[in-house]
Amino acid sequence: MANSNSTGKSKSNIPYKIYLPEEEIPKAWYNVRADMKTDHRPILNPATMKPAAAEELTPVFCEKLVGQELNDKDRYIEIPDAVREIYKMYRPSPLMRAYRLEKALGTPARIYYKFEGGNTSGSHKLNSAVAQAYYAKEQGLKGVVTETGAGQWGTALAMACAYFGLDCKVFMVKVSAEQKPFRRAVMETFGASVTPSPSDTTQVGRKILAGTPDTGGSLGCAISEAVETAVTSEGYRYVLGSVLNQVLLHQSVVGLEAAAALALYDEYPDLVIGCAGGGSNLGGLMAPFMADKLAGRRAPHFIAVEPASCPSLTRGKFAYDFCDTGMITPLAKMYTLGATFIPSANHAGGLRFHGMSPILSQLYHDGYLDEARAVAQNTVFDAATFFAKTEGTLPAPESSHAIRAAIDEAVKCRESGEAKTILFGLTGTGYFDLRAYMSYNDGSMNDTIPSDADLAQGLSQLPAVPEGLL
Protein backbone atom coordinates (compact mmCIF):
# COMPACT_ATOMS: atom_id res chain seq x y z
CA MET A 1 0.00 0.00 0.00
CA ALA A 2 1.49 3.28 -1.04
CA ASN A 3 0.95 6.32 1.11
CA SER A 4 -0.18 4.38 4.13
CA ASN A 5 1.73 6.28 6.78
CA SER A 6 -0.26 9.17 8.09
CA THR A 7 2.58 11.66 8.04
CA GLY A 8 3.45 11.43 4.38
CA LYS A 9 0.10 10.48 2.97
CA SER A 10 -1.14 12.45 0.04
CA LYS A 11 -4.55 13.93 0.64
CA SER A 12 -5.13 14.69 -2.99
CA ASN A 13 -7.09 11.53 -3.77
CA ILE A 14 -9.92 12.24 -1.36
CA PRO A 15 -13.31 12.35 -3.12
CA TYR A 16 -15.77 15.22 -2.85
CA LYS A 17 -18.19 12.99 -0.95
CA ILE A 18 -17.20 10.12 1.22
CA TYR A 19 -20.01 7.62 1.60
CA LEU A 20 -19.68 4.73 3.99
CA PRO A 21 -21.39 1.47 3.08
CA GLU A 22 -24.74 0.83 4.77
CA GLU A 23 -23.33 -1.82 7.09
CA GLU A 24 -21.06 0.85 8.56
CA ILE A 25 -24.01 2.59 10.21
CA PRO A 26 -23.06 2.33 13.89
CA LYS A 27 -24.56 -0.59 15.80
CA ALA A 28 -24.35 1.27 19.10
CA TRP A 29 -24.61 4.87 20.24
CA TYR A 30 -21.70 6.29 22.23
CA ASN A 31 -22.54 7.60 25.71
CA VAL A 32 -19.92 10.23 26.56
CA ARG A 33 -21.09 10.39 30.17
CA ALA A 34 -19.40 7.04 30.82
CA ASP A 35 -16.07 8.73 30.09
CA MET A 36 -16.55 12.20 31.56
CA LYS A 37 -14.17 13.02 34.39
CA THR A 38 -16.65 15.11 36.33
CA ASP A 39 -20.10 14.03 35.43
CA HIS A 40 -22.62 16.80 35.17
CA ARG A 41 -24.97 17.36 38.08
CA PRO A 42 -28.21 15.37 38.27
CA ILE A 43 -31.50 16.87 37.15
CA LEU A 44 -33.60 18.00 40.10
CA ASN A 45 -37.27 17.73 40.89
CA PRO A 46 -38.21 21.39 41.56
CA ALA A 47 -40.78 20.33 44.16
CA THR A 48 -38.23 18.54 46.36
CA MET A 49 -34.94 20.03 45.08
CA LYS A 50 -33.63 16.46 45.13
CA PRO A 51 -32.22 14.50 42.19
CA ALA A 52 -35.17 13.29 40.13
CA ALA A 53 -35.55 9.51 40.37
CA ALA A 54 -36.62 7.42 37.39
CA GLU A 55 -40.13 7.01 38.86
CA GLU A 56 -40.57 10.77 38.94
CA LEU A 57 -39.63 11.08 35.29
CA THR A 58 -41.61 8.21 33.77
CA PRO A 59 -44.97 10.03 33.94
CA VAL A 60 -43.43 12.61 31.60
CA PHE A 61 -40.93 10.67 29.46
CA CYS A 62 -40.89 7.21 27.88
CA GLU A 63 -39.48 4.57 30.19
CA LYS A 64 -36.51 3.43 28.11
CA LEU A 65 -35.60 7.03 27.38
CA VAL A 66 -35.53 7.82 31.10
CA GLY A 67 -33.10 4.90 31.46
CA GLN A 68 -30.89 6.45 28.79
CA GLU A 69 -31.23 9.90 30.32
CA LEU A 70 -29.89 8.71 33.66
CA ASN A 71 -27.30 6.28 32.32
CA ASP A 72 -23.76 7.39 33.12
CA LYS A 73 -22.24 3.89 33.14
CA ASP A 74 -22.61 2.24 29.75
CA ARG A 75 -20.17 3.56 27.18
CA TYR A 76 -22.09 2.00 24.30
CA ILE A 77 -25.84 1.47 24.02
CA GLU A 78 -27.05 -0.84 21.29
CA ILE A 79 -29.18 0.72 18.55
CA PRO A 80 -32.38 -1.35 18.21
CA ASP A 81 -32.67 -3.15 14.86
CA ALA A 82 -35.93 -1.34 14.00
CA VAL A 83 -34.18 2.02 14.46
CA ARG A 84 -31.18 0.93 12.42
CA GLU A 85 -33.49 -0.24 9.63
CA ILE A 86 -34.90 3.29 9.37
CA TYR A 87 -31.44 4.82 9.64
CA LYS A 88 -30.59 2.75 6.55
CA MET A 89 -33.13 4.74 4.53
CA TYR A 90 -31.13 7.95 4.90
CA ARG A 91 -27.82 7.06 6.51
CA PRO A 92 -24.87 7.00 6.44
CA SER A 93 -25.01 10.67 5.57
CA PRO A 94 -22.24 11.91 3.30
CA LEU A 95 -19.05 13.45 4.61
CA MET A 96 -18.14 16.17 2.14
CA ARG A 97 -14.71 17.54 1.35
CA ALA A 98 -15.21 21.26 0.74
CA TYR A 99 -12.73 21.55 -2.12
CA ARG A 100 -14.42 24.51 -3.74
CA LEU A 101 -14.72 26.41 -0.47
CA GLU A 102 -11.04 25.74 0.29
CA LYS A 103 -10.08 27.03 -3.13
CA ALA A 104 -12.23 30.15 -2.87
CA LEU A 105 -10.64 30.93 0.50
CA GLY A 106 -7.14 30.13 -0.73
CA THR A 107 -6.55 28.13 2.41
CA PRO A 108 -4.18 25.22 2.94
CA ALA A 109 -6.70 23.80 5.45
CA ARG A 110 -8.64 20.70 4.52
CA ILE A 111 -12.29 21.31 5.29
CA TYR A 112 -14.85 18.56 5.76
CA TYR A 113 -18.51 18.78 6.62
CA LYS A 114 -20.97 16.11 7.63
CA PHE A 115 -24.19 16.85 5.78
CA GLU A 116 -27.33 15.92 7.72
CA GLY A 117 -29.81 17.84 5.60
CA GLY A 118 -30.42 15.16 2.99
CA ASN A 119 -33.49 13.54 4.54
CA THR A 120 -37.02 14.89 4.04
CA SER A 121 -37.16 16.50 7.48
CA GLY A 122 -34.07 18.43 6.41
CA SER A 123 -31.93 18.11 9.53
CA HIS A 124 -30.03 15.87 11.93
CA LYS A 125 -33.05 15.85 14.28
CA LEU A 126 -34.46 12.76 12.60
CA ASN A 127 -31.66 10.68 14.20
CA SER A 128 -33.17 11.17 17.64
CA ALA A 129 -36.81 11.37 16.50
CA VAL A 130 -36.65 7.84 15.09
CA ALA A 131 -35.17 6.50 18.31
CA GLN A 132 -37.68 8.30 20.52
CA ALA A 133 -40.69 7.27 18.45
CA TYR A 134 -39.46 3.69 18.48
CA TYR A 135 -39.26 3.58 22.29
CA ALA A 136 -42.69 5.20 22.64
CA LYS A 137 -44.19 2.57 20.34
CA GLU A 138 -42.38 -0.24 22.13
CA GLN A 139 -43.92 0.97 25.38
CA GLY A 140 -47.39 0.72 23.85
CA LEU A 141 -48.13 4.46 23.94
CA LYS A 142 -50.72 6.13 21.73
CA GLY A 143 -48.64 9.11 20.92
CA VAL A 144 -46.12 11.78 21.86
CA VAL A 145 -46.28 15.53 22.45
CA THR A 146 -43.53 18.01 21.76
CA GLU A 147 -42.72 21.60 20.89
CA THR A 148 -40.88 22.96 17.92
CA GLY A 149 -39.20 26.30 17.39
CA ALA A 150 -37.95 26.69 13.86
CA GLY A 151 -39.86 23.54 12.92
CA GLN A 152 -37.15 20.99 12.16
CA TRP A 153 -37.75 18.93 15.26
CA GLY A 154 -41.52 18.85 14.78
CA THR A 155 -41.03 17.77 11.18
CA ALA A 156 -38.56 15.06 12.14
CA LEU A 157 -40.84 13.77 14.89
CA ALA A 158 -43.88 13.81 12.60
CA MET A 159 -41.95 11.66 10.11
CA ALA A 160 -40.72 9.28 12.80
CA CYS A 161 -44.24 8.90 14.24
CA ALA A 162 -45.57 8.11 10.78
CA TYR A 163 -42.97 5.32 10.47
CA PHE A 164 -44.11 3.75 13.74
CA GLY A 165 -47.84 4.52 13.62
CA LEU A 166 -47.92 6.93 16.57
CA ASP A 167 -49.99 10.06 17.08
CA CYS A 168 -47.92 13.27 17.19
CA LYS A 169 -48.96 16.59 18.75
CA VAL A 170 -46.73 19.59 18.16
CA PHE A 171 -46.78 22.99 19.86
CA MET A 172 -45.08 25.35 17.44
CA VAL A 173 -43.74 28.72 18.60
CA LYS A 174 -46.29 31.19 17.24
CA VAL A 175 -43.86 33.47 15.37
CA SER A 176 -42.34 30.45 13.62
CA ALA A 177 -45.75 29.04 12.74
CA GLU A 178 -46.52 32.37 11.10
CA GLN A 179 -43.11 32.71 9.42
CA LYS A 180 -42.93 29.11 8.28
CA PRO A 181 -46.34 27.88 7.17
CA PHE A 182 -44.71 25.30 4.92
CA ARG A 183 -43.08 23.59 7.87
CA ARG A 184 -46.50 23.17 9.36
CA ALA A 185 -47.78 21.74 6.09
CA VAL A 186 -45.06 19.09 6.08
CA MET A 187 -45.84 18.09 9.67
CA GLU A 188 -49.53 17.83 8.88
CA THR A 189 -48.79 15.80 5.78
CA PHE A 190 -47.06 13.25 7.97
CA GLY A 191 -50.14 13.19 10.20
CA ALA A 192 -49.11 15.45 13.10
CA SER A 193 -51.41 18.05 14.64
CA VAL A 194 -49.85 21.48 15.05
CA THR A 195 -50.91 24.10 17.61
CA PRO A 196 -49.32 27.58 17.60
CA SER A 197 -47.98 28.40 21.07
CA PRO A 198 -48.96 29.99 23.39
CA SER A 199 -52.42 28.54 22.92
CA ASP A 200 -55.61 28.45 24.94
CA THR A 201 -55.52 24.64 25.07
CA THR A 202 -53.35 24.51 28.21
CA GLN A 203 -53.39 26.17 31.60
CA VAL A 204 -49.87 27.49 31.19
CA GLY A 205 -50.68 28.80 27.71
CA ARG A 206 -53.76 30.64 28.97
CA LYS A 207 -51.72 32.14 31.79
CA ILE A 208 -49.02 33.39 29.43
CA LEU A 209 -51.63 34.78 27.04
CA ALA A 210 -53.37 36.59 29.87
CA GLY A 211 -50.10 38.29 30.84
CA THR A 212 -48.78 38.97 27.32
CA PRO A 213 -51.57 38.58 24.76
CA ASP A 214 -49.39 39.73 21.83
CA THR A 215 -46.45 37.46 22.51
CA GLY A 216 -44.98 35.56 19.57
CA GLY A 217 -44.18 32.75 21.95
CA SER A 218 -40.88 31.12 22.78
CA LEU A 219 -39.41 27.68 22.88
CA GLY A 220 -39.54 27.67 26.67
CA CYS A 221 -43.24 28.48 26.61
CA ALA A 222 -44.02 25.83 23.98
CA ILE A 223 -42.15 23.28 26.11
CA SER A 224 -44.40 24.11 29.07
CA GLU A 225 -47.51 23.57 26.96
CA ALA A 226 -46.23 20.29 25.53
CA VAL A 227 -45.28 18.90 28.95
CA GLU A 228 -48.63 19.85 30.41
CA THR A 229 -50.49 18.23 27.53
CA ALA A 230 -48.39 15.05 27.76
CA VAL A 231 -48.93 14.52 31.48
CA THR A 232 -52.66 15.19 31.27
CA SER A 233 -53.30 12.94 28.22
CA GLU A 234 -53.67 9.20 28.79
CA GLY A 235 -51.18 7.17 26.74
CA TYR A 236 -49.00 10.13 25.79
CA ARG A 237 -45.50 11.16 26.79
CA TYR A 238 -43.40 14.24 26.21
CA VAL A 239 -40.39 14.09 23.89
CA LEU A 240 -37.69 16.68 23.24
CA GLY A 241 -35.37 17.12 20.27
CA SER A 242 -32.30 18.65 21.87
CA VAL A 243 -30.61 19.49 25.18
CA LEU A 244 -31.26 16.14 26.92
CA ASN A 245 -28.58 13.48 27.45
CA GLN A 246 -30.60 10.93 25.48
CA VAL A 247 -30.68 13.22 22.44
CA LEU A 248 -26.91 13.70 22.47
CA LEU A 249 -26.60 9.93 22.79
CA HIS A 250 -28.70 9.32 19.66
CA GLN A 251 -26.86 12.03 17.74
CA SER A 252 -23.54 10.26 18.33
CA VAL A 253 -24.25 8.39 15.06
CA VAL A 254 -23.23 11.60 13.29
CA GLY A 255 -19.78 11.70 14.86
CA LEU A 256 -19.21 7.96 14.73
CA GLU A 257 -19.88 7.95 11.00
CA ALA A 258 -17.73 11.04 10.46
CA ALA A 259 -14.81 9.47 12.32
CA ALA A 260 -15.11 6.25 10.29
CA ALA A 261 -15.27 8.16 7.00
CA LEU A 262 -12.25 10.32 7.87
CA ALA A 263 -10.30 7.25 8.96
CA LEU A 264 -10.70 5.79 5.45
CA TYR A 265 -8.37 8.57 4.31
CA ASP A 266 -6.19 8.61 7.36
CA GLU A 267 -7.64 11.92 8.44
CA TYR A 268 -8.31 13.20 11.95
CA PRO A 269 -9.73 16.64 12.72
CA ASP A 270 -7.61 19.31 14.39
CA LEU A 271 -10.76 21.39 14.76
CA VAL A 272 -14.33 20.18 15.31
CA ILE A 273 -16.91 22.92 14.91
CA GLY A 274 -20.64 22.87 15.47
CA CYS A 275 -23.45 25.33 15.90
CA ALA A 276 -24.99 25.14 19.34
CA GLY A 277 -28.65 25.66 20.07
CA GLY A 278 -29.41 23.03 22.67
CA GLY A 279 -26.16 21.24 21.92
CA SER A 280 -27.28 18.02 20.25
CA ASN A 281 -25.59 18.19 16.87
CA LEU A 282 -22.29 19.37 18.29
CA GLY A 283 -22.52 16.80 21.08
CA GLY A 284 -23.14 14.11 18.46
CA LEU A 285 -20.50 15.25 15.98
CA MET A 286 -17.78 15.55 18.56
CA ALA A 287 -18.66 12.32 20.43
CA PRO A 288 -15.89 9.95 19.23
CA PHE A 289 -13.33 12.75 19.16
CA MET A 290 -14.28 13.79 22.68
CA ALA A 291 -13.82 10.14 23.70
CA ASP A 292 -10.24 10.40 22.42
CA LYS A 293 -9.70 13.66 24.23
CA LEU A 294 -11.12 12.42 27.54
CA ALA A 295 -8.89 9.34 27.28
CA GLY A 296 -5.85 11.50 26.52
CA ARG A 297 -5.28 9.89 23.10
CA ARG A 298 -5.73 12.99 20.93
CA ALA A 299 -6.33 16.67 21.50
CA PRO A 300 -8.72 18.03 18.88
CA HIS A 301 -9.91 21.59 19.48
CA PHE A 302 -13.70 21.89 19.83
CA ILE A 303 -15.63 25.05 19.03
CA ALA A 304 -19.31 25.71 19.79
CA VAL A 305 -20.85 28.55 17.80
CA GLU A 306 -23.96 30.31 19.04
CA PRO A 307 -25.93 33.38 17.97
CA ALA A 308 -24.99 36.68 19.58
CA SER A 309 -28.70 37.21 20.20
CA CYS A 310 -29.02 34.06 22.36
CA PRO A 311 -25.56 33.61 23.88
CA SER A 312 -26.00 30.98 26.59
CA LEU A 313 -22.43 29.62 26.66
CA THR A 314 -20.61 32.90 26.14
CA ARG A 315 -22.70 35.16 28.38
CA GLY A 316 -24.90 32.85 30.45
CA LYS A 317 -24.39 31.42 33.91
CA PHE A 318 -23.55 27.82 34.76
CA ALA A 319 -26.42 27.18 37.14
CA TYR A 320 -29.49 25.11 37.82
CA ASP A 321 -32.45 26.34 35.82
CA PHE A 322 -35.79 25.29 34.42
CA CYS A 323 -35.87 24.11 30.84
CA ASP A 324 -39.09 26.02 30.16
CA THR A 325 -40.66 29.42 30.70
CA GLY A 326 -43.62 28.00 32.63
CA MET A 327 -41.18 26.54 35.17
CA ILE A 328 -42.76 23.10 35.27
CA THR A 329 -39.88 20.95 33.98
CA PRO A 330 -37.12 19.49 36.16
CA LEU A 331 -34.09 21.68 36.83
CA ALA A 332 -30.90 21.04 34.90
CA LYS A 333 -27.43 22.40 35.60
CA MET A 334 -26.42 24.15 32.43
CA TYR A 335 -25.23 27.38 30.93
CA THR A 336 -28.40 29.44 30.86
CA LEU A 337 -29.69 32.92 30.20
CA GLY A 338 -32.61 32.27 32.54
CA ALA A 339 -35.83 30.48 31.64
CA THR A 340 -37.63 33.78 31.09
CA PHE A 341 -35.13 34.97 28.47
CA ILE A 342 -36.71 35.35 25.02
CA PRO A 343 -34.44 36.23 22.11
CA SER A 344 -35.43 39.10 19.87
CA ALA A 345 -38.19 38.27 17.38
CA ASN A 346 -36.07 39.50 14.48
CA HIS A 347 -33.48 36.88 15.15
CA ALA A 348 -33.99 34.55 12.18
CA GLY A 349 -31.11 32.16 12.61
CA GLY A 350 -32.68 29.60 14.94
CA LEU A 351 -30.81 28.36 18.03
CA ARG A 352 -33.21 30.22 20.29
CA PHE A 353 -33.17 28.11 23.45
CA HIS A 354 -32.20 29.88 26.69
CA GLY A 355 -30.08 26.98 28.00
CA MET A 356 -27.51 24.50 26.77
CA SER A 357 -27.16 20.73 27.04
CA PRO A 358 -25.92 19.81 30.54
CA ILE A 359 -23.33 17.50 28.95
CA LEU A 360 -21.94 20.23 26.73
CA SER A 361 -22.15 22.70 29.60
CA GLN A 362 -20.10 20.52 31.91
CA LEU A 363 -17.55 19.73 29.19
CA TYR A 364 -17.23 23.45 28.50
CA HIS A 365 -16.95 24.28 32.18
CA ASP A 366 -14.19 21.67 32.56
CA GLY A 367 -12.32 22.88 29.47
CA TYR A 368 -12.81 19.80 27.26
CA LEU A 369 -15.09 21.72 24.96
CA ASP A 370 -12.39 24.29 24.30
CA GLU A 371 -14.18 27.30 23.00
CA ALA A 372 -17.54 28.96 22.54
CA ARG A 373 -18.10 31.85 20.15
CA ALA A 374 -21.08 34.08 19.63
CA VAL A 375 -21.58 35.40 16.11
CA ALA A 376 -23.90 38.07 14.77
CA GLN A 377 -26.67 37.23 12.34
CA ASN A 378 -25.48 39.21 9.32
CA THR A 379 -22.03 37.64 9.45
CA VAL A 380 -23.71 34.23 9.65
CA PHE A 381 -25.65 34.91 6.46
CA ASP A 382 -22.50 36.28 4.78
CA ALA A 383 -20.99 32.86 5.45
CA ALA A 384 -24.16 31.02 4.38
CA THR A 385 -24.22 32.83 1.06
CA PHE A 386 -20.53 32.33 0.41
CA PHE A 387 -20.94 28.65 1.19
CA ALA A 388 -24.00 28.29 -1.05
CA LYS A 389 -22.14 29.87 -3.97
CA THR A 390 -19.02 27.79 -3.56
CA GLU A 391 -20.32 24.42 -2.38
CA GLY A 392 -23.72 24.55 -4.04
CA THR A 393 -25.71 23.61 -0.94
CA LEU A 394 -28.17 26.04 0.63
CA PRO A 395 -27.42 25.75 4.34
CA ALA A 396 -29.84 26.14 7.24
CA PRO A 397 -29.22 29.39 9.15
CA GLU A 398 -28.39 27.32 12.25
CA SER A 399 -25.73 25.36 10.38
CA SER A 400 -24.36 28.59 8.98
CA HIS A 401 -23.10 29.55 12.44
CA ALA A 402 -20.70 26.63 12.14
CA ILE A 403 -19.82 27.64 8.57
CA ARG A 404 -18.96 31.13 9.84
CA ALA A 405 -16.44 29.72 12.31
CA ALA A 406 -15.07 27.18 9.83
CA ILE A 407 -14.41 29.94 7.29
CA ASP A 408 -12.78 32.13 9.94
CA GLU A 409 -10.51 29.26 10.98
CA ALA A 410 -9.63 28.44 7.37
CA VAL A 411 -8.69 32.07 6.79
CA LYS A 412 -6.41 31.94 9.86
CA CYS A 413 -4.74 28.90 8.27
CA ARG A 414 -4.20 30.90 5.10
CA GLU A 415 -2.45 33.55 7.15
CA SER A 416 -0.36 31.12 9.21
CA GLY A 417 0.23 28.59 6.43
CA GLU A 418 -0.97 25.73 8.64
CA ALA A 419 -2.77 22.90 6.84
CA LYS A 420 -5.24 22.06 9.58
CA THR A 421 -7.99 19.52 9.17
CA ILE A 422 -11.31 21.17 9.93
CA LEU A 423 -14.54 19.23 10.48
CA PHE A 424 -17.87 20.96 10.90
CA GLY A 425 -21.49 19.91 11.07
CA LEU A 426 -23.76 20.99 8.24
CA THR A 427 -26.88 20.14 10.18
CA GLY A 428 -29.60 21.05 7.75
CA THR A 429 -30.89 22.56 4.56
CA GLY A 430 -32.11 26.13 4.27
CA TYR A 431 -35.11 25.50 2.04
CA PHE A 432 -37.58 26.36 4.79
CA ASP A 433 -35.68 29.47 5.82
CA LEU A 434 -36.10 31.49 2.68
CA ARG A 435 -37.74 34.36 4.52
CA ALA A 436 -34.52 34.79 6.45
CA TYR A 437 -32.54 34.68 3.22
CA MET A 438 -34.96 37.22 1.72
CA SER A 439 -34.40 39.66 4.54
CA TYR A 440 -30.64 39.19 4.27
CA ASN A 441 -30.78 39.69 0.50
CA ASP A 442 -32.88 42.85 0.68
CA GLY A 443 -30.73 44.33 3.44
CA SER A 444 -33.43 44.40 6.10
CA MET A 445 -31.80 41.84 8.37
CA ASN A 446 -30.41 43.36 11.52
CA ASP A 447 -28.83 42.10 14.66
CA THR A 448 -30.41 42.54 18.03
CA ILE A 449 -27.83 41.69 20.61
CA PRO A 450 -29.08 41.75 24.19
CA SER A 451 -27.50 44.29 26.51
CA ASP A 452 -26.04 43.28 29.87
CA ALA A 453 -29.15 44.73 31.46
CA ASP A 454 -31.39 42.55 29.26
CA LEU A 455 -29.46 39.50 30.35
CA ALA A 456 -29.41 40.49 34.01
CA GLN A 457 -33.19 40.40 33.93
CA GLY A 458 -33.36 36.70 32.98
CA LEU A 459 -30.43 35.73 35.18
CA SER A 460 -31.93 37.36 38.24
CA GLN A 461 -34.77 34.84 38.14
CA LEU A 462 -32.75 31.65 38.41
CA PRO A 463 -34.28 29.27 40.95
CA ALA A 464 -32.66 29.02 44.37
CA VAL A 465 -31.00 25.64 44.79
CA PRO A 466 -29.65 24.19 48.07
CA GLU A 467 -25.98 25.01 48.35
CA GLY A 468 -24.70 21.43 48.51
CA LEU A 469 -25.99 20.89 45.01
CA LEU A 470 -24.16 23.78 43.38
Ligand X SMILES: *Cc1c(COP(=O)(O)O)cnc(C)c1O
Query: Cβ atoms within 10 A of the Cβ of 360, count?
Result: 31
Residue in 311, 326, 428, 450 binding ligand X, rule: CB under 6 A: 428
Residues 6 or more apart whose Cβ sits within 8 Å of residue 411? 105, 107
Interaction of residue 316 with ligand X, rule CB under 6 A = no
Residue in 157, 254, 275, 305 binding ligand X, rule: CB under 6 A: 275
Interaction of residue 398 with ligand X, rule CB under 6 A = yes
Residue in 42, 220, 277, 338 binding ligand X, rule: CB under 6 A: 277
Which residue stretch of 30-38, 130-138, 271-279, 407-415 sits at the interface with ligand X (rule: CB under 6 A)? 271-279
For 323, phi then psi, to 5°, come to -90, 0
Shortest approach of ligand X to residue 207 CB, angstroms?
Answer: 27
Shortest approach of ligand X to residue 123 CB, angstroms?
Answer: 4
Residue in 128, 229, 280, 377 binding ligand X, rule: CB under 6 A: 280
- Closer residue to ligand X, CB minimum distance, 143 or 241: 241
| Ranges within 151-190 binding ligand X (CB under 6 A) | 152
Interaction of residue 347 with ligand X, rule CB under 6 A = no
Query: Cβ atoms within 10 A of the Cβ of 345, count?
Result: 14
Which residue stretch of 95-103, 339-347, 395-403, 455-463 sits at the interface with ligand X (rule: CB under 6 A)? 395-403
Q: At what angle do helices 152-164 and 126-138 cross, to 10 degrees?
A: 40
Interaction of residue 196 with ligand X, rule CB under 6 A = no
Residue in 95, 204, 396, 422 binding ligand X, rule: CB under 6 A: 396
Shortest approach of ligand X to residue 352 CB, angstroms?
Answer: 9
Q: What DSSP element (H or E) covers 321?
A: strand 317-322
Q: What DSSP element (H or E) covers 369?
A: none
Q: Which amino acid is at 201?
A: T
Residues 6 or more apart whose Cβ sits within 8 Å of residue 456? none
Query: How many residues make contact with ligand X (CB under 6 A)?
Result: 18
Read off the DSSP letter of residue 214.
T
Query: Cβ atoms within 10 A of the Cβ of 283, count?
Result: 31
- Per-residue CA distances from 293 to 119, 270, 274 (Å): 31, 12, 17
CA distance 122 to 451: 33
Interaction of residue 362 with ligand X, rule CB under 6 A = no
Site residues (vs ligand X, CB under 6 A):
123, 125, 152, 242, 275-281, 350-351, 396, 398-399, 427-428
